[in-house]
Structure 1
């Protein structure tokens, strides 16, 4: 009887707690909407991990507000640790993070600023001073004086925060209301140091840990009882487009002119804030070159003694992943595709067939002057030097008629971090990289969330409607078109040894492309390219490559369609349904087809643009030796839907908390004593009458 009563009491108590949990919690905690902040996630490479992680149930600390430089170190000497630091973006850096991490007194960091904040005036880059150095061209045996660029860093303002392993969560506040709520809570309760104090709980629980090797091994150990996956390989799709149709059956293929650019960038908080505005100008410039050369008639294209091939790499921000994979596939005679018997395929390319490479890097800050970078060591070979000089000469000649002045790199810093480095590791090739800087990046916000269009002179003041924005974007588009026309003319001169007198120039289309990528993924241009898929694109494109999927990410998918649009053949047909837009030959893999919406019908375009696997070769090699480190092996931790959480609440001093606990325990055990007495005296208290 006694046991039954106790069980009944516990069941009633638990039921009451369950029904009242949300009501009681709302009286104690104020939850911050998960969409009000960006998150620092956990990434892993072959042997280690970077990024942020909380404990299983989240980390708790008293709020400490840092809004001036003198406050940064006061956290360490505070009287009420552990702390959650609420720090203004002006004072958030690798130095402050390392200080707080080493102190052991900080459990998390909340970075805030107002919604109009565009970054500190001096600039900030969480990238390394020598980006992409881990798998670069230079090492102890080749260009050892260039291997470490600390003396002459390309990114001098970089502090390397993106490469740090941080043992507490970091959130970047996006909502002014939420930020002000926490500031007000701090100012109301924490300034005098008396209890109750305003505290916060931060949860950022990642499933993956230690390294990609460890995480992939755990993935492979899954079974029916534990089907969980812990991480996913990072990688994208390399996009390859040929100016003219090629065929793998051609006995003596033409030499190749390769025009390349990167599709992606990264930032510290990669879950949604990798704008990469200046990095994006590189591949938009490549599209403009494709637009100019694609307008040539098919006869001119087919009669060129060179095959001109455009390549957009995805994953370059992670140790040149895309270009490294291209070189690997070339070595296996499988770029852009493996050979398939009975299929008509485009030509396969190897390093020895590449005559010239022109890579377009960051070019958003070009102001009538562009810089040409090349590897001085490979250029010491006379034939390479001759070909590099030919590229430079063609560009300088073409630039004169396009209001662009091309200058050679100055100093002796070696080749800049670039996809070209990956290709040169496989063999001597003549190539240059075009940028808007000479000895160091002009982009003072490289690979940060502040690498936004306003840094390129586009000031919209919050009004992103197309009619208002396009005229303000047009000056940048004009610079890109001027540069791209000069490159297109230079490529034509290299390919034909003739000058191109007239060239297609459409600034309006390039302006619209910039608008779509920077501000509005549902713009008219994207709608015409996607139609039924438009609902997928409800936010500004994130330039972070993300985890690999058989389907291309938004950014790459649009870039593929744009390149296809510019490189389309002259033959187009009108169809009523999208499934009618296809080759009549089942074995045809040379031509691809895409239906673009045109009012009530579809325009069926034929083109020669392909997408290939852009993951690191480590993902393609069975039993890959991660410890050997021949290739990068990046992965992203998985997390549950409830992995991220932020709330604020008031906390009492330890004495008050002890008293509350004591009173609670006293009431709990008193109830047992009362129940025991009732049980013992039940024959008196509850007399049974005879029936």
Structure 2
């Protein structure tokens, strides 16, 4: 009987405990409401830390909506119940305002919320006026690049830059894009905060808590030393180097095998000649996981892809070229937003005969193998492009003549103007890594006049490039006729990319064959349509499906993230670009069965109809990790290589709740102390007088007290 009573008591206790947990969960849900958004985070280089961080337990601030500049004065002039969390629309999210909030400090401003109300916004760029200001081409031991004059803002490569991406803030900054979430915040502010400001300190107010604590601090040198410290027994990571993958492919398969043992010295095939056509693969923004880079880098990636595809379909076999050892190497460099990580590593590998890697079983490429480099930079205004070179050379003059021959030809009607620009005023593109090594390197850069007011920000999206998906369901693997204009307007993004890609491809065609292009086929605007849909709207798209293995899992219904990230982070963009270049540059192998099409260079693609086809590919990856993390005892302050790292963190979250007033908190604490003292006194009295209070003890239990 006693055992049954004991079991029943245990079950009752468990039931009460589970009920208490459920009730507490429900109570918590009533107290807090989560807010969905994206957080600013911390990055570090060899000398500084940039970005944002909350306190370890989370930063809390009272909501205050900023509609006009004057609303900031309330927060910065002895507000009644600090700390506050201002809700700021993009047009007021300026460098001046943010630095004023930073100067006020976390005692006054503990959180900043950027809300997606872009109606009054006309520019929004967090990058410097001179992107990669300290890592480009330098002269006379200068610390800053000679290719951009920061003192003349109107003549820089990003005149609208605020530099906020490179500032360090003592509070978290949280971006809320969803309209319902913004309405929730504004409603809470109006209901509890937006009246009788004099009594803020006397009543409960709507507040937000943001958790985004960053583990790293000071700079990359300190952070990496802490991570690699011999006594770090727990294996804690405080930061990781920014690291990704460059994607490259050759127009023709290389016929230069290397069958050497692992320790044997590598030898270059001096007969091989390469024309490098390159662009930037990545983009960045202040907030984690956001930033499509539609204008700042995706236009150049689209152009490179279309040039590769057009040349693949137009050119004869390599053996019939005037120089059968000539090839084109297409490269999309990753991490260029952070001091040219990808191109610096590419140059480093070529210097050390480490590109391509031994695993490709091909001979290494040296600088002597490179005939010239055509780097495709930002194409803000595709109708007005400049060909930049450090010095005037016959090579540059010849290429400019070829480009303009097709750009201004009435037969094609491209209506594109390409001018020459000679001198040190060259754009911040991957070519600077090559020119920094050797100023005589034959680098030519195609770049438009700056016009992107949303460079490196969350608003450089499909609206910024006026993209509208045509969804033609037509064959995008074939070239288009020059007179075929039935699907897109002349001013559409698809047609602009078609035009500039065709011009570049025609000029390279003439360079490779020695013959002027006379055909009517041009780059496909339908391919451009599908390309931008995949990269700007959804990875679950026809082009990505065709570039994958048959019946592969579909991509996410979101555009691929194009931030370089860290080892183990998302590499969606490089992965999809790898497959896409492989598919568009590959040659069909109809006689190879599926079971024998599993090892590179053979790859089994789903193809246009999704049934599957074996093709011979040339694409591959190469590491985009800065040499600074490979060189032993590297001088982190030398500025020779990129030193960017990213802090680790445990979570990003935000939630709103009613924060009690100071009077309420003091009253609650005082009552608790009084109750504690009274309880302590009662317990003392009871324990010291128990024989008086409990003198009528039943005889049957008297033995228990003896």
**Do both proteins adopt the same fold according to a TM-score greater than 0.5, normalized to the shorter chain?**
yes
1:632 matches 2:642: yes
Task: Name the SS for the 1:107 alignment partner.
Answer: coil
**Do the aligned partners of 2:540 and 2:555 also contact (CA within 8 Å) in 1?**
no
Q: In structure 2, which of residues 444, 463, 476 is the aligned counterpart of residue 432 of structure 1? A: 444
**Do the aligned partners of 2:250 and 2:328 also contact (CA within 8 Å) in 1?**
yes
> How many Å separate the matches in 2 of 1:19 and 1:603?
56
Quote the residue 1:37 is aligned against. 37
Task: Report the alpha carbon displacement of residue 213 of structure 1 after superposing the two structures with TM.
Answer: 2.0
Quote the residue 1:8 is aligned against. none
**Do the aligned partners of 1:576 and 1:601 also contact (CA within 8 Å) in 2?**
no
Q: Per the alignment, do residues 181 and 471 of structure 1 end up closer, same or farther by CA in structure 2, a change over 3 Å counting? A: farther
Two-structure CA RMSD over aligned residues (Å): 3.0
Quote the residue 1:373 is aligned against. 388
Quote the residue 1:315 is aligned against. 335
Quote the residue 1:498 is aligned against. 515
Runs of 4+ in structure 1 deviating by more than 6 angstroms, as ranges, are 11-19, 464-468
Task: Name the SS for the 1:561 alignment partner.
Answer: helix
Q: Map 1:13-412 onto structure 2 (within 5 A).
A: 20-27=23-30, 29-33=31-35, 36-77=36-77, 78-104=79-105, 105-114=108-117, 117=118, 120-141=120-141, 146=147, 148-151=149-152, 152-190=155-193, 191-193=195-197, 194=199, 195-221=203-229, 226-248=234-256, 251-296=269-314, 299-300=317-318, 303-305=321-323, 306-338=326-358, 344-345=361-362, 347-363=363-379, 365-367=381-383, 369-375=384-390, 379=391, 385-401=393-409, 402=412, 403-409=414-420
Normalization by structure 2: what TM-score?
Answer: 0.85
Q: Per the alignment, do residues 630 and 690 of structure 1 end up closer, same or farther by CA in structure 2, a change over 3 Å counting? A: same
Task: Name the SS for the 1:555 alignment partner.
Answer: helix
> How many Å separate the matches in 1 of 2:424 and 2:636?
31
Quote the residue 1:561 is aligned against. 579
1:421 matches 2:432: yes
Q: Which has the larger radius of gyration?
A: 2
Quote the residue 1:609 is aligned against. 619
Quote the residue 1:623 is aligned against. 633
> How many Å separate the matches in 2 of 1:473 and 1:618?
48
**Do the aligned partners of 2:501 and 2:523 also contact (CA within 8 Å) in 1?**
no
Quote the residue 2:4 is aligned against. none
Quote the residue 1:688 is aligned against. 697
Task: Report the alpha carbon displacement of residue 209 of structure 1 after superposing the two structures with TM.
Answer: 2.1
Superposed CA deviations along residues 430-451 of structure 1, whole A, max 9, x for unmatched, are 22221232xxx11111111111
> How many Å separate the matches in 1 of 2:269 and 2:668?
86
Q: In structure 2, which of residues 546, 558, 568 is the aligned counterpart of residue 528 of structure 1? A: 546
Task: Name the SS for the 2:60 alignment partner.
Answer: strand
Q: In structure 2, which of residues 566, 591, 596 is the aligned counterpart of residue 547 of structure 1? A: 566
Task: Report the alpha carbon displacement of residue 266 of structure 1 after superposing the two structures with TM.
Answer: 0.8
Q: Per the alignment, do residues 528 and 488 of structure 1 end up closer, same or farther by CA in structure 2, a change over 3 Å counting? A: same
Q: Per the alignment, do residues 274 and 166 of structure 1 end up closer, same or farther by CA in structure 2, a change over 3 Å counting? A: farther
**Do the aligned partners of 1:201 and 1:648 also contact (CA within 8 Å) in 2?**
yes
> How many Å separate the matches in 1 of 2:132 and 2:604?
36
> How many Å separate the matches in 2 of 1:154 and 1:598?
40
Task: Name the SS for the 1:646 alignment partner.
Answer: strand
> How many Å separate the matches in 1 of 2:248 and 2:209?
47
> How many Å separate the matches in 1 of 2:498 and 2:174?
39
Task: Report the alpha carbon displacement of residue 344 of structure 1 after superposing the two structures with TM.
Answer: 3.8
Quote the residue 1:661 is aligned against. 669
Normalization by structure 1: what TM-score?
Answer: 0.86
> How many Å separate the matches in 2 of 1:224 and 1:14?
39
Task: Report the alpha carbon displacement of residue 292 of structure 1 after superposing the two structures with TM.
Answer: 0.6
Task: Report the alpha carbon displacement of residue 69 of structure 1 after superposing the two structures with TM.
Answer: 2.1
Q: Map 1:504-519 onto structure 2 (within 5 A).
A: 505-519=523-537
Task: Report the alpha carbon displacement of residue 616 of structure 1 after superposing the two structures with TM.
Answer: 1.0
**212-221 or 55-64: which moved more?**
212-221
**Do the aligned partners of 1:522 and 1:534 also contact (CA within 8 Å) in 2?**
no
Quote the residue 1:5 is aligned against. none
**Do the aligned partners of 1:335 and 1:348 also contact (CA within 8 Å) in 2?**
yes
Q: Per the alignment, do residues 683 and 275 of structure 1 end up closer, same or farther by CA in structure 2, a change over 3 Å counting? A: farther
Task: Report the alpha carbon displacement of residue 656 of structure 1 after superposing the two structures with TM.
Answer: 3.0
> How many Å separate the matches in 1 of 2:468 and 2:196?
42
Task: Name the SS for the 2:254 alignment partner.
Answer: coil
**Do the aligned partners of 2:588 and 2:614 also contact (CA within 8 Å) in 1?**
no
Quote the residue 1:586 is aligned against. none
Quote the residue 2:264 is aligned against. none
Task: Report the alpha carbon displacement of residue 205 of structure 1 after superposing the two structures with TM.
Answer: 1.0
Task: Name the SS for the 2:566 alignment partner.
Answer: coil
> How many Å separate the matches in 1 of 2:43 and 2:61?
25
**Do the aligned partners of 1:239 and 1:612 also contact (CA within 8 Å) in 2?**
yes
Aligned length: 645
Quote the residue 2:556 is aligned against. 537
**526-535 or 260-269: which moved more?**
526-535
* Structure 2, unaligned runs of 5 or more: 1-13, 258-267, 475-485, 701-706
Task: Name the SS for the 1:456 alignment partner.
Answer: coil
